[in-house]
Structure 1
Amino acid sequence: MDRKLTKSEALELLTPVVDNEVSAEERDAFLEYIADDKNLKQEYESMKRVKALMADRCPCAKAPESLKDFLSSYCSSTSVDEISRKNSVTQQEQTEPSVSSAQQSNWWYYAAAAVVVFTISVWSFLNYGSSAVENPTYNIEEYAYQHFMKHGGKLVPPTISTASLGSAEIELAQNYNMSMTIPELDKAEFKGVVYEEFVPDFKAPMLEYYVPGEDQFIYIFAFNIDEIEQFGQLVRNQEAVKTCTKSRDFHIRNVNGKHVVSWKWNNIWYAAISNHDGNTLASLVKPLAYEPSKD
């Protein structure tokens, strides 16, 4: 899709993009359009948050016996009987079937299905909805992606402006109570630390690097695992948690076409994102000692 989208075309792509049902070209065209349309961009980000919230807070669960009994009683006493009556025809009537009768039959099936779906939806909201709104959860990889897209993968004015990894570590420890190792990246210049709100009510440092040979920036977010658990609303990808047990372990997750590389050193969780392929990005982090050519 070489041409730019119109407003109506972008609106039509909104839901498919959120549901990952478009091609890479369509997604790129959509993201390029919303970069200049603040209202549609806000709607897109809102839908992404709702989808992530539903996935985190409303997982599939076995329905209680009370719901099963209600549905069974309702369907057997009303819906099933109605469907049976509407679909009961004599042998003479079946000799000349009409389109209208078939449509009517289908309508009753859809109506009965809609009743069941609506009942389950209401029950789920009453049991999970209120708690989900009060205590939303935020996925680290997805919010790392949102920050990268928000800033266009460009330099963000640092809170701690220094080219020295050691100086930045000292200032983070003294002023922000964040004792951590700032990784050295191959072929990249350290630009400093942005200390700001990562998600509502939770701040975290974002380490900024610049690769001059490629004119690319790399963001690395760092989190104290104890603070994550205490906060209770910031979640890590469970596959990443299982994978990253040793200092050289890392995990790559594709978030809307961008690769987020995660790893753990001591009690600090890192999430790196850039325009690089995940394996290439991991190979730039010197302490991980990863060489893609060997895999």
Structure 2
Amino acid sequence: MNRKLNKSEALELLTPVVDNEVSAEEREAFLAYIAQDEEVRQEYKSMKTIKALLGERCPCAKAPDSLKDFLSTFCSSETFDDPPIYDIPNKKTVAQQRQPSSSDSSTQQSRWWYYAAAAILLITVSFWGFLNYGITSVENSTYNIEEYAYQHFMKHDGKLVPPTISTASLGSAEIELAQNYDMSMTIPELNKAEFKGIVYEEFVPDFKAPMLEYYISAEDQYIYIFAFEIDKMEEFGQLVRDQEAVKACTKSRDFHIRNINGKHVVSWKWNNIWYSAISNHDGNTLASLVKPLNYEPSDN
């Protein structure tokens, strides 16, 4: 029998559902309810996101020996000043001995309060530290474009990646990119290279960018060119460019070469688009292949 919830019951089940502490019937009833309650549904999504973030950024860690020593000393110390026990005959009856005095009860309650306070303090401090560290790590993490272009090239061994937009026409690719991904840009033409299409995927976590693929059949070599809308990149806030490249690339024919572990990443800027190209070529050779840059290695 399908159980129907009201809002109050759904809110009570919110945390148990996120923690997977409900029966299948309760989960089904909860999901059925939030399907028609936007407010509770959004709260449920938020809690799941927070839990996933904590699980990813705050993994369990072994307690340091210093903390174990502290707790051991704290729990075994005579902090509570218990009165000493002497082996002296007691004239009270058994019944009387079983009745704890008010002072004994008070001491015992105080002891439990100390333990509870210590536990709460430790848990609070530990949780706040982990949470603060996790959030700070997320906020402060940055990704360098040139380094991640290198990582993508090495990940795919500089080979063809199945394109999201498969076409040999630069114009068709520009139209599809604008229509399907709301990104207007110039796809550069490369000397001696055949355009293979566009791979539109996650460049870094939570940020997608197109990767333009070219193939030089005479050399059996592929070239990747990553393209980024500068305003969206700055809005994202975690994707950064090499500062020397930013300073060097002010005009349409300017470019910058950065050596990363023996691979050269060539960067340039056209209007609001930042390009970073990588291949197995020398940086100057790679720059000379980009027709609009109009560069010849002999110039330098």
The one of 274, 278, 288 aligned to 1:283: 288
Letter in 1 for 2:215: Y
Deviation of the 1:129 alpha carbon: 6.1
Q: Which amino acid aligns with 1:233?
A: Q
Tell me what 1:141 maps to. Answer: 146
Measured against aligned partners, the alpha-carbon deviations of 1:42-82 in whole angstroms (never above 9, x if no partner) come to xxxxxxxxxxxxxxxxxxxxxxxxxxxxxxxxxxxxxxxxx
CA distance in 1, matches of 2:296, 2:261: 25
Specify the code of the residue in structure 1 equivalent to 2:292: P
State percent identity of aligned pairs: 82
Determine which of 184, 195, 201 is the counterpart of 1:196: 201
CA distance in 1, matches of 2:143, 2:271: 23
The number of residues matched between the two structures is: 170
**Counterpart selection for 2:252 from 222, 230, 247:** 247
Cα deviation for residue 179 of structure 1 reads 0.1
Structure 1: which amino acid aligns with 2:261?
Answer: N
Distance in 1 between the 2:272 and 2:222 partners? 26
Residues 1-295 of structure 1 aligned to structure 2 (within 5 Å): 132-135=136-139, 136-295=141-300
- Residues 215 and 129 (structure 1), Cα distance of their counterparts in 2 relative to 1, 3 Å cut: same
Whole-angstrom distance in 2 between the partners of 1:192 and 1:159: 7
For 1:234, the aligned partner's letter is L
What is the CA–CA distance in structure 1 between the aligned matches of 2:244 and 2:193, rounded to whole Å? 28
Distance 1:132 1:275 in 2: 37
State how far apart, in whole Å, the 2-side matches of 1:196 and 1:139 are: 17
Whose Rg is larger? 2
Q: Structure 1, unaligned stretches of length 5 or more?
A: 1-124
Residues 129/259 of structure 1: CA separation in 2 closer, same or farther (3 Å cut): farther
- TM normalised by structure 2 equals 0.55
| Partner SS state of residue 235, structure 2 | helix
Alignment match, 1:32? none
- How many angstroms apart in 2 are the aligned matches of 1:192 and 1:261? 20
**Match of 1:262, SS?**
strand
| d(CA) in 2 for partners of 1:132, 1:199 | 18
Deviating 4+ runs (over 4 angstroms): 128-132
Question: Which amino acid counterpart does residue 162 of structure 2 have in structure 1?
Answer: P
Paired letter, 1:260: V
In 2, distance between residues paired with 1:166 and 1:200? 29
* DSSP-derived class of the 1:220 partner: strand
Measure how far apart 1:134 and its partner are. Answer: 1.8
Task: Tell me: CA distance 1:134–1:236, structure 2 relative to 1, closer, same or farther (3 Å).
Answer: same
Q: Distance in 1 between matches of 2:134 and 2:240?
A: 20
Q: Aligned equivalents of 2:286 and 2:160: distance in 1?
A: 18
Distance of 2:266 and 2:243 partners within structure 1: 14
CA distance in 2, matches of 1:217, 1:207: 10
CA distance in 1, matches of 2:138, 2:153: 27
1:293 Cα deviation after fit: 1.3
Q: Secondary structure at the match of 2:246?
A: helix
Can you list the C-alpha shifts for 1:225-272, whole angstroms capped at 9, x where unaligned?
A: 000000000000000000000000000000111000000000000000
Matched residue SS, 2:152: helix
d(CA) in 2 for partners of 1:169, 1:134 = 34
- 1:269 is matched by which residue type in structure 2? W
- Length-normalised TM-score, structure 1: 0.56
| One-letter amino acid of the counterpart of residue 270, structure 2 | W
Q: Which amino acid aligns with 2:201?
A: E
Superposition deviation, residue 208 in structure 1: 0.1
What letter is aligned with 2:138? Answer: E
